[in-house]
Amino acid sequence: MKHRIFILEDHPVMRRGYRVLINGEMDLEICGEAETAAEALEAIPKAVPDLVIADISLDGMNGIEFIKCLQAKHRGLEVLVVSMHDESLYAERALHAGAAGYLMKTEAESRIVPAIRRVLGGRYAVSDRIEDQIMVQFAGRIPITKGAGLPDSLSQLSDRELEVFELHGRGLSTREMAEALGISAKTIATHRGRMKAKLAIESTPELIRRAVLWMQDEDRLSQNAP
């Protein structure tokens, strides 16, 4: 009996690549696809997958929030994140949210099938660097806290704050961010104030400038992904 895989990915080229790689295996098959988290949450109960492949950057709800919602509705359903985002900033967040694996898209072609099998076998599928970090935490050498050991100052931000930071970098207005996240403009302003404090940034224009520069780097990584 084949293991059933559901794909949450907003790029058609990536979805087609996953289909080719996964359906070419004797023990794996694609049972459903979605472009947004909302579509995935609606389709997954009918598709009955054994594992969900999810991206981080999605329209509406991002991948981290999707994993949290998925685990709340379908606890124990395995999730493998495949993203262009730097694993040093997002892998640990994804694992805290309930994912069992994290791959960079630049490595997907050669590693996704072994990673799927590893997760289905009850193990984590992460890079050696992230695995070492997890083991160090497990051994009690450093506290197990969200963002522990991450090199960039953005690791200080909560998952929601990082999401708001990304939307600033994409040029959305306060109203647009509030609508996209389903929260109030006042809450966006509160997140903005907390981000400035954590990042030691004095003004909102400087926060936006930094967010835009960061998103430009992230977009360059995305364009170089296969």
Confidence at residue 143, expressed as pLDDT on a 0 to 100 scale: 40
Find out if CATH 3.30.60.50 is the number for domain 153-224: no
* Residue 25: pLDDT band with limits 50, 70, 90: very high
CB 76 within 8 A of CB 98: no
pLDDT digits (tens, 9 = 90+) for 153-199: 787 888 888 888 888 888 888 888 888 888 898 999 999 999 888 88
Q: Is the pLDDT of residue 13 over 50?
A: yes
Instruction: Give mean pLDDT, residues 111-116.
Output: 94
Residues 6+ apart with CB under 8 A from 12: none
Q: Is the pLDDT of residue 77 over 60?
A: yes
pLDDT digits (tens, 9 = 90+) for 30-58: 999 999 999 999 999 999 999 999 998 88
∠ CA 8-187-152, nearest 5°, is: 60
Residue type, 73: K
Record: fold of 3-138? Rossmann fold (3.40.50)
Residues of the chain with CATH 1.10.10.10: 153-224
Please state the φ and ψ torsions of residue 67, each to the nearest 5 degrees.
-60, -40
Query: Considering the entire predicted model, what is its pTM?
Result: 0.68
More confident residue, 103 or 154: 103
Residues of the chain with CATH 3.40.50.2300: 3-138
CA distance linking residue 16 with residue 52, whole number of Å: 15
* Residue 225: pLDDT band with limits 50, 70, 90: low
As a whole number, the mean pLDDT across the chain is 84
